[in-house]
Structure 1
Amino acid sequence: MNHELIMPVEMSIKEKKKLSKGKVLQAVVFSRCTMIEVESSLNENYYLIYYKNTLVYGEKVDKVIKNSFIDKIRKMGMVFHSDHPFLSAIIPSETATIPNKNKLFSQLQNQYSLQEVAYIATTLDSFFTKKQLTNVIYKIFYHYRRNGNYMQAFQIIKILNNFDPDLNSAREIKNSLEFYSYMEFYKSSALSAIHQKDPLYVEWYCFKNRFQPDEGKMLVDLLKQQDSCLDIVILWMEKIQNGSNVTSVETYTNMALPFTSMENWIVTLDYLHINPFQALPQTKTMIDNMLLEERYETAALYLLNFLNALPETYEEILHTLWGHLDTTFIADHLDTFLVVIQQLVLKEGEEQSEQRLLQLIGKLLETYDLKEVHDKLLPIQPSAPHSPVFQKINRMLTLLDDPDQMMELGQYYAEFKRYDDAIECFSWEMELYPDDPTPVSQLSKMYQNKGMVKEAFAYHQIYASLK
């Protein structure tokens, strides 16, 4: 994956009159809920809980409690760390306004069913005490039982029992004779039948057991019924990362594009070890447009990881990139770019390629010594055995340790615009042959090329006197 194409995801958090800005460290998706962890500019960690992509609540948390909802879903949910290119698509909004804590549950009852409020309460144990949340869920339970809605009451007590299995009162109510028939219904009925009565539970159960074939298939079917394309795409990505065969890339691309750009989706496929340029024909149009806009480096960054596995239709694109990319970029990505140089551009007699190669070697010599540059380019030399540029670099290597050949070596360095190295060679030659005007003349030229007028003039004076 090319990390140069991944930008950090930032968020703003409004809390009362305080505004904090920070970087998203991770997002975790778990059955209708998403947890987002944000590190503020003051190194404070905020945790935000969303239900159906709507912010429920969040706070600064110094330490995540063991076995809390946040702790559990980090192990059971679908995790997107800061280096995941699809992370930005998971974030519902760039700004999170945290609601009033004291009025939270009364506001939730205006937005969601009471069963959903009970479920949401179980996700907030990093911000409220377990007793506070238990009281909220118990109130909903008694409300249903008082009104004779025993099925709904049993659903609530199941939520409470899952939330706190050690709570004796909830376990006793769940196992009481009063709710025996409902407990048997959940034990003996098929998931499709339970779904008719309790869709929230079935979706939660299927998500928790999504790696089982039947539950995984049912979860996808449920999400399709809700048009939850984003969750379907996330499930598909998780399966790919867990080793499943890559299927239906175009189908999932169409689902993903409402939530992210094609550029970002290409990087996501790269993250999943899928070649987007083989799987999606429309990616070529995107690269062509980048070239028309002269965004050569950006286009190259998208292609770098797939240079040895591109369709034949990309040959012209690669020629264009070789002709327009700055040599600094090519030098920085040389190990990857070697395949392009080897297969496409080093055609004997091609003057433009020779000139580009000359520039590239000059750029590499800024960072590496002569032998390192020679070794880096060694794999592509067989592709152009008669290249004058390669002949020069090979010849330079033979001259490197011969003090009697510094004049010739300096001239080669000058061709590669490595003027400091050339000056070193010509200075050595001048010391060996103080009466010879030739190295002095070359020193004057080198300083002139460097823009050092005084030094160039001084050596020119010496040259004139020797001459």
Structure 2
Amino acid sequence: MHKNLIMPTEITIKDKKKMVKGTVIRAAIFARSKVIDVLTTENERFYFIYYKNSLIYGDKLDLVEDGSFIKKAFHEGIVIESPHPILTALIPNLSVSIPNKNKLFSQLQTHYSLQELAHIATTLDSFFEHNQLIKIIDNIFFHYRREGNFSMSFQIIQILNGFAPTLKSAKERLNSQEFYSYHDFYKSSSLPSILKKDPLYVELHCFKNRSNPDEHALLEEILAKQNGSVELLLLWLEKVEQVQKVEFVEKYTEIALQLVTMREWILILEKVKINPYLVLPDANEMIEKMIQQGNYEEAAEYLLNFIHDLPSSYDEILNKIWENLNAAFLVAHLDHFIFMLEQLVHKGNTKQSEQRMFQLVVILLEEHGLEAVYERLLPIQKLLSHSGVMRKVHKMVELLEDPDRMMELGDYYAEFNQFDKAIDCFFWEMELQPQDPSPAQKISKMYQHKGMVNEAADYQKVYIQLKSNQETG
């Protein structure tokens, strides 16, 4: 993906009375939860936990421990690395305030069910003591048990056992006789049946097992009913990237364009190795608008990675880009443009190709030695076998091995505006033929081209003197 086309996702953190600026480094989706990893301008790492798209808690962490929910999310969840166009859509507010830690769970009770609260507690183990979180979940378990709600008690003890599998008391309660019937129900019933009684369990189960077709399909259905557009889109993108099979592009394009722009969607598809110009009819119009506005480099940036596999409807666009693109940009991406050049050759744009080749050679000679330039241009030479520019470069390489023909090589360098290299050649000739006025005259002209008036005048005097000696001799 072209990083220069994607702006980093910036976030402002209010930590007590201090405002901190940061950049989102990565994010991870794990079922209903997500984790945002932020690097601040002071080189500190903050992590934020969200549930159902709402901020739960976050703080600075010097170390994220193995086995924690954050580690699990970035290892087993759907991870989005920066820069990525969807990161901004993933974060509901780019200005966050860290909640009061001491009042957190009492405040969460007003917004979420007790079962959700127990689950949320398991995602906060990087910020709270393990025993403190176990106690919170335990209290919820005993609350339901006192009320005689054994179904909810079982759901909570399952959460606690998953969070603290070595906790003996949790395991004993989970396996107690009073919960035998619930064990049987979860083992023998279909996921859609369990979904009616314990949607949180099913959603977590399907997310963890989303590589299985049945669980993946059910998870899609759950997310669609919840209007979880971002999560649904990321689930599809993950599947496409893994199996490299493109399906339902139109459906997910409609979802994506509710969250990101067409330009961003094109970059997202590129990220998962989908050629957007084969599957998105509107992509052509977007590139055309860039061309009309004179944004040739931007248009080229979008097309670069797919330049070998574009529909014929892009031929005219490629022609316009080739004709108007800055030569330095072409040199920087020369390998990508060889295919474009091949198309232009077949279309007979000989004059335009020669002008472009001249510009490319000039820039390449400024950065590399003659032999390296020749090697770099070999693929193009095969395409442009009748190119006068390429014949000159080939001739220059031959002259490089012949010290008796430095004047001729210098003339070629001068033709390609390489005045310093031409001067070197003419100096060499002066040493070989000290009485010949021609090298001095050429050196004078080279300094004139460089704008070095005094040096040009000095060598003009040398030329006049040598010329006079030659005539009187």
Scaled by the length of structure 1, what TM-score is found?
0.95
User: More displaced, 78-87 or 159-168?
Assistant: 78-87
Give 1:330 deviation, angstroms.
0.8
Give 1:406 deviation, angstroms.
1.2
Consecutive unaligned residues of structure 2, counting only runs of 5 or more, are: 468-473
Q: How far apart are the structure 2 equivalents of 1:194 and 1:349?
A: 67
Q: How far apart are the structure 1 equivalents of 2:12 and 2:457?
A: 60
- Is the Cα–Cα contact under 8 Å of residues 318 and 340 in structure 2 kept in the other structure? yes
2:412 maps to 1:383: no
Q: How far apart are the structure 2 equivalents of 1:246 and 1:352?
A: 38
- Is the Cα–Cα contact under 8 Å of residues 4 and 301 in structure 1 kept in the other structure? no
Give 1:304 deviation, angstroms.
0.8
Structure 2: which amino acid aligns with 1:333?
H
Give 1:429 deviation, angstroms.
1.9
Q: How far apart are the structure 2 equivalents of 1:319 and 1:439?
A: 43
Structure 2: which amino acid aligns with 1:309?
D
Structure 2 CA distance for partners of 1:37 and 1:257, relative to 1, 3 Å: same
Q: How far apart are the structure 2 equivalents of 1:300 and 1:410?
A: 35
SS in 2 for 1:242: helix
Structure 2: which amino acid aligns with 1:313?
S
The aligned residue for residue 457 of structure 1 is 457
Q: How far apart are the structure 2 equivalents of 1:344 and 1:186?
A: 65
The aligned residue for residue 308 of structure 1 is 308
Aligned 1:248-287 pairs, distance under 5 A: 248-287=248-287
Q: How far apart are the structure 1 equivalents of 2:89 and 2:162?
A: 30
The aligned residue for residue 429 of structure 2 is 429
RMSD, matched Cα? 1.8
Give 1:290 deviation, angstroms.
0.9
SS in 2 for 1:365: helix
- Is the Cα–Cα contact under 8 Å of residues 65 and 126 in structure 1 kept in the other structure? yes
2:149 maps to 1:165: no
2:208 maps to 1:208: yes
Give 1:358 deviation, angstroms.
0.5
Q: How far apart are the structure 2 equivalents of 1:61 and 1:385?
A: 62
Structure 2: which amino acid aligns with 1:201?
Y
Consecutive unaligned residues of structure 1, counting only runs of 5 or more, are: none
Structure 1: which amino acid aligns with 2:63?
K
Q: Could you tell me the percent identity over the aligned residues?
A: 52
Structure 1: which amino acid aligns with 2:103?
K
The aligned residue for residue 18 of structure 1 is 18
Give 1:252 deviation, angstroms.
1.4
The aligned residue for residue 398 of structure 1 is 398
Q: How far apart are the structure 2 equivalents of 1:60 and 1:337?
A: 46
The aligned residue for residue 246 of structure 1 is 246
Aligned 1:287-302 pairs, distance under 5 A: 287-302=287-302
User: More displaced, 262-271 or 288-297?
Assistant: 262-271
The aligned residue for residue 56 of structure 1 is 56
Structure 2: which amino acid aligns with 1:436?
D
The aligned residue for residue 367 of structure 2 is 367
Q: How far apart are the structure 1 equivalents of 2:203 and 2:302?
A: 37
Give 1:409 deviation, angstroms.
1.0
User: More displaced, 148-157 or 319-328?
Assistant: 148-157
- Is the Cα–Cα contact under 8 Å of residues 26 and 81 in structure 2 kept in the other structure? yes
Deviations 1:374-417 (A, max 9, x none): 11111122332221111111111111121221111111111111
2:209 maps to 1:195: no
Aligned 1:80-119 pairs, distance under 5 A: 80-119=80-119
Q: How far apart are the structure 1 equivalents of 2:439 and 2:4?
A: 45
Q: How far apart are the structure 2 equivalents of 1:356 and 1:441?
A: 31
Q: How far apart are the structure 2 equivalents of 1:457 and 1:277?
A: 58
Structure 2 CA distance for partners of 1:364 and 1:346, relative to 1, 3 Å: farther
Structure 2: which amino acid aligns with 1:265?
W
Deviations 1:53-97 (A, max 9, x none): 111001111221221111222222111223555444433332221
Q: How far apart are the structure 2 equivalents of 1:419 and 1:6?
A: 40
2:327 maps to 1:335: no
Give 1:244 deviation, angstroms.
4.5
The aligned residue for residue 2 of structure 2 is 2
Q: How far apart are the structure 1 equivalents of 2:298 and 2:201?
A: 46
SS in 1 for 2:118: helix
Q: How far apart are the structure 2 equivalents of 1:412 and 1:273?
A: 44
SS in 2 for 1:385: coil
Structure 2: which amino acid aligns with 1:314?
Y
Deviations 1:260-301 (A, max 9, x none): 222222122222111111111211111111111211111111
User: More displaced, 238-247 or 1-10?
Assistant: 1-10
- Is the Cα–Cα contact under 8 Å of residues 346 and 354 in structure 1 kept in the other structure? no
Deviations 1:325-373 (A, max 9, x none): 1111111111111221232158667323212210110101112211111
Q: How far apart are the structure 1 equivalents of 2:46 and 2:164?
A: 25
Structure 2: which amino acid aligns with 1:458?
D
The aligned residue for residue 353 of structure 2 is 353
2:198 maps to 1:183: no
- Is the Cα–Cα contact under 8 Å of residues 322 and 345 in structure 1 kept in the other structure? no
Aligned 1:73-152 pairs, distance under 5 A: 73-152=73-152
Structure 2 CA distance for partners of 1:313 and 1:244, relative to 1, 3 Å: closer
The aligned residue for residue 39 of structure 2 is 39
Q: How far apart are the structure 2 equivalents of 1:307 and 1:124?
A: 47
Structure 2 CA distance for partners of 1:433 and 1:360, relative to 1, 3 Å: same
Q: How far apart are the structure 2 equivalents of 1:349 and 1:22?
A: 50
Q: How far apart are the structure 2 equivalents of 1:115 and 1:410?
A: 82
Aligned residues: 467
- Is the Cα–Cα contact under 8 Å of residues 347 and 384 in structure 1 kept in the other structure? no
The aligned residue for residue 470 of structure 2 is none
User: More displaced, 45-54 or 14-23?
Assistant: 14-23
Structure 2: which amino acid aligns with 1:362?
V
Q: How far apart are the structure 1 equivalents of 2:88 and 2:372?
A: 41
Q: How far apart are the structure 1 equivalents of 2:178 and 2:269?
A: 53
Scaled by the length of structure 2, what TM-score is found?
0.94
